[in-house]
Amino acid sequence: MDNRKLRFHWKANAFAWLLLLPSLLFLFLFTFYPIAQTVKLSLFQADLATAVPVFLGFDNYANLIGDEVFWKVMSNNLWFAIGTVPTSIVLAILMAIYCNKALRGTSLVRISFFYPTMIPMIAVANVWLFIYTPQYGLLSRLMKSIGQGDINWLGSPQYVMWAMVIMVVWKEAGYFMIFFLAGLQNIPPDLYESAQVDGVGRWTVFRKITFPLLMPTTLFVSIVALTNSFKLVDHIMIMTKGGPNNASNLLLYYIYESAFSFWDQGMASTLTVVMIGVLLLFAALNFFGLDKKIHYR
């Protein structure tokens, strides 16, 4: 009897592991092995000048602390996050609330908000490069027609980040709208009915019912938006190459530059480790702070 049970367990275990095997193989090959390699390589000097990587210990990290561009990139990314995350979330909530109502023409409205999500960032970059171009660009023509001076949005360090933030908010708000639409569908309608019976104003309804019940979605979307603000870099390739003077450079693009333009593998690895750290921090926020409220509700 015991023997049979044991054999059964063995078979069930083997079957489960066989089912997992293909996924696990790719998971190890392209997530865990690369992470381990990065951590290791970040302790070495490995650039074009050194044929065989030289062990440095934590020198790469020390160099990073002294690297002006690194701090510039980190502060850029911080501002990029501050610019994009709250704005796109507020817009997304507004969009969702209005799109959730069965108004005429809503489907066209929903399409116009959501379509930027479907377009590759590289195409978005082409369109917005055209919009931001001095003299010929749409924005430039608009400003001229109302008698304002021309601004080279992408060419001036003080404006370039604004230009990027506006573009990314345009691209992302509609995506987050979907999550809020899903959140709104989960709010029981009788709450609104009883509020209506009591004659509660619309703003109060939003403040006391809608917003608190959307809170889990808001927290979740903030984490996604925060993560995205570190991951979105395709546009930099087309629009600015990180310039002018690193004013639009972001962490992931700096990794790309270090690895594939400067061929400084040690530094690229060190930066990747920093990036992994940042993402794990966001994930930790999600798990320890918010996850309980969001999942399994």
Picking from 272, 205, 236, the residue whose alpha carbon sits closest to that of residue 34 is 272
Instruction: Let me know: does 267 contact 258? Beta carbons within 8 Å.
Output: yes
| Closest approach of other proteins to the CB of residue 20, in Å | 5
| Closest approach of other proteins to the CB of residue 133, in Å | 8
| Closest approach of other proteins to the CB of residue 53, in Å | 12
What DSSP designation does 148 have? P
Could you tell me which residues come within 8 angstroms of residue 72 by beta carbon, excluding any fewer than 6 positions away? 246, 249
Instruction: Let me know: does 187 contact 210? Beta carbons within 8 Å.
Output: yes
User: Closer CB to other proteins, residue 56 or residue 259?
Assistant: 259
| Binding range to other proteins, per CB under 8 A, among 12-20, 72-80, 158-166, 191-199 | 12-20
Picking from 152, 102, 149, the residue whose alpha carbon sits closest to that of residue 131 is 152
| Closest approach of other proteins to the CB of residue 233, in Å | 7
CA distance 113 to 97: 13
Q: Is the peptide bond before 244 cis (omega within 30 degrees of 0)?
A: yes
User: Closer CB to other proteins, residue 24 or residue 82?
Assistant: 24
What are the structure tokens assigned to 80, written together?
Answer: 């990029």
Does the footprint of other proteins cover residue 13 (CB under 8 A)?
Answer: yes
| Closest approach of other proteins to the CB of residue 190, in Å | 20
Does the footprint of other proteins cover residue 61 (CB under 8 A)?
Answer: no
Q: How many CB atoms lie within 10 A of CB 185?
A: 10
**What 3-state class would DSSP assign to 69?**
helix
Instruction: Let me know: does 128 contact 153? Beta carbons within 8 Å.
Output: no
Query: Per CB under 8 A, which of residues 195..214 are in contact with other proteins?
Result: none
| Binding range to other proteins, per CB under 8 A, among 57-65, 70-78, 172-180, 192-200 | 172-180
| Binding range to other proteins, per CB under 8 A, among 48-56, 69-77, 78-86, 173-181 | 173-181
User: Closer CB to other proteins, residue 49 or residue 101?
Assistant: 101
| Closest approach of other proteins to the CB of residue 138, in Å | 6
Q: Binders of other proteins: how many residues, by CB under 8 A?
A: 83
What are the structure tokens assigned to 204, written together?
Answer: 């109060």
CA distance 83 to 79: 6
Does the footprint of other proteins cover residue 90 (CB under 8 A)?
Answer: no
Side chain identity, residue 213: L
Does the footprint of other proteins cover residue 12 (CB under 8 A)?
Answer: yes
Q: Annotate 71-89 with DSSP letters as a single string.
A: HHHHHHHHHHHHHHHHHHH
Does the footprint of other proteins cover residue 215 (CB under 8 A)?
Answer: no
CA distance 251 to 273: 11
Query: Per CB under 8 A, which of residues 14..43 are in contact with other proteins?
Result: 15-17, 19-20, 22-27, 29-35, 37-38, 41
**What 3-state class would DSSP assign to 55?**
strand
Query: Per CB under 8 A, which of residues 102..141 are in contact with other proteins?
Result: 103, 105, 107-124, 126-128, 130-131, 133, 136, 138, 141
| Binding range to other proteins, per CB under 8 A, among 75-83, 170-178, 189-197, 204-212 | 170-178
What are the structure tokens assigned to 107, written together?
Answer: 């489907």
Query: Per CB under 8 A, which of residues 230..289 are in contact with other proteins?
Result: 231, 233-234, 237-238, 252, 255-256, 259-260, 265, 268-269, 272, 275-276, 279-280, 282-283
